[in-house]
Each structure stands twice: as structure tokens, then as C-alpha cells.
Amino acid sequence: MIKVYNIKRILKITAIILLFAITIAILSNRISMKKAIETSANSKSTYKILVDVEESKLYLFENDILSKEYKCSGGKWSTPSPIGTWTITSKAKWGEGFGGSWMGLNVPWGKFGIHGTLDPYSLGWSSSHGCIRMDNNDVAELYKIIPIGTRVTIVDGVYGAFGRGFRDLKSGMYGADVMEIQKKLKELGFFSGNPNGKFGIETEKAVQKYCKANKLYLRKVIDIELQKQMGFEEID
């Protein structure tokens, strides 16, 4: 009876020790997981996007380090992409024509964003109406990575806001070049509105005021000659 009692006692003590060890392991694991979650939250990645329309490339930076590179397509000469630095303000799962993914930009003169395409052969050259097109699989991947609030910088050529060169601007047109001229006219005191990249009646009136003040012939079109007269220069 003594031997049986001792065996039972030993088994009981062993079970208690084992249970205690399991409890400690579970608590330790929970603490480790909590620390891992806190560390992950504190070291959240920051993303930035650079789109080079001329190269038809979209570059994704994670914590200022190049992370991924994608083929894309930007706007045509007649429908340019919005040159400048913008912010992704919306994300949505749109239909097939947009590759299922849409990331909208806060461009003041129209609805522009990053999305997919039904025509993969349109990628690699300037073929869009101003948006940034990507391969559907690529845009789906990008959609999962970047949050709302991500900064997107779009460049196109060596002329800054004027892209790859000056174009004749008239009422109804839009773009970064229009907004740059509006800023110049506002700086000179001829444009009273807020520069928004849309060439409307207020911009047209400001141009005519500028021409009159500088003894130039009145015009409704901001041609290359007038842009140069305003101080904008092309690079040879």
C-alpha cells in the first residue's frame, strides 16, 4: 500500500509541475505576441510612390528605400497626367475596366488615379487619358500594400509642370502647366482665384489683363511665345 501511495503522490506532483510549466509557457507566449504586435505597430512602414510618365515606370518606396518597380502608362500629350505631388485619398474595388482596383488622387482639376486596364498592350507608353494604368495583377498587389494618405509624385520630362515641353493652352484645357501659369498670373496680380489647373473664363480674363498691361496683342490662347514672355523657359 505504501508503494502504491508513493506512486500516486509522485504522479500527482508531476502532473501539477507539468500543468504549471504549461501555464507559464502560455503566459510567456501571450506576452511575446503582445510585444511583437506593439513592435509591429511602432515600426509601421511608410510608403511613397514615384511615377515617371516618360519612362512608363511606377516606383514604390518603403521607408525611403526602393521596394518595387512596375510598368505603367501615363497620359497622352492631349490628355496629360497630373504632374506634381498628390495624395491617395480614396481606394475602391471598381469594375473590370479599372482592373478591379482604384486609388484616387486629390488632383483639383479632375478625377485621376491609379488603376488597372483591360488592354495590357497599352502599358509601356503614354496612352491613357491622364490616369496611371498598371497591369491588373500589379495594381492588385499595390492596392493591398499602400494605405490612404500615401504620397504620389508624378513627373514627365525635364520641364517640371510643363512636362516634355510647352503646349498652346486655351479655355477648357487642364493640367499642371495651366496651374503653373495661374500661379504666375496670381503672383503678378492679374488672377484673383485659386489656381486649380482648369483653364476657364477667369484664367482667360487674367491672360487678357496681362497682355494689356504688357502692351501685347490681346489673345485668348496662351501660346508658347506668351509662356516664354512670362518667364518660363524651354531647355535646349
Q: For residue 187, is pLDDT > 50?
A: yes
Give the containing element (helix H, strand E) for 86.
strand 84-92
The whole-angstrom separation of Cα 235 and Cα 58 is 25
Q: Is 115 a catalytic residue?
A: yes
Please give the CATH architecture assigned to the domain spanning 165-229.
Orthogonal Bundle (1.10)
74 φ/ψ angles, rounded to the nearest 5 degrees: -110, -165
Q: Is 129 a catalytic residue?
A: no
Of 188, 189, 173, give the one whose Cα is nearest residue 222: 173
Of 54, 58, 176, give the one whose Cα is nearest residue 115: 58
Catalytic residue among 72, 129, 131, 211: 131
The whole-angstrom separation of Cα 133 and Cα 119 is 10
Q: For residue 36, is pLDDT > 60?
A: no
The whole-angstrom separation of Cα 185 and Cα 203 is 9
SS3 of 150, please?
coil
Q: For residue 91, is pLDDT > 80?
A: yes
Q: Find out whether 80 and 164 touch, Cβ atoms under 8 Å.
A: no
pLDDT of 14 = 59
The x, y and z cell numbers of residue 181, run together, are 501659369
Residue 146 is given by DSSP the state P
Q: Which fold has domain 47-156?
A: L,D-transpeptidase catalytic domain-like (2.40.440)
Catalytic residue among 72, 115, 129, 211: 115
Average pLDDT over residues 197-221: 94
Q: How many CB atoms are located within 10 Å of the residue 60 CB?
A: 18
Q: Which residues of 81-105 are buried (b: 16+ CB within 10 A; e: fewer)?
A: bbbbebebeebeeeeeebbbbbbbb
pLDDT of 98 = 78
pLDDT band at 2, cuts 50/70/90? very low
Q: Is 44 exposed, middle or buried (0-12, 13-18, 19+ CB in 10 A)?
A: exposed
pLDDT of 207 = 95
Q: Where are the domains of the chain?
A: 1-44, 47-156, 165-229
Q: How far is CA 163 from CA 82, 107, 202, 224, in A?
A: 10, 16, 24, 14
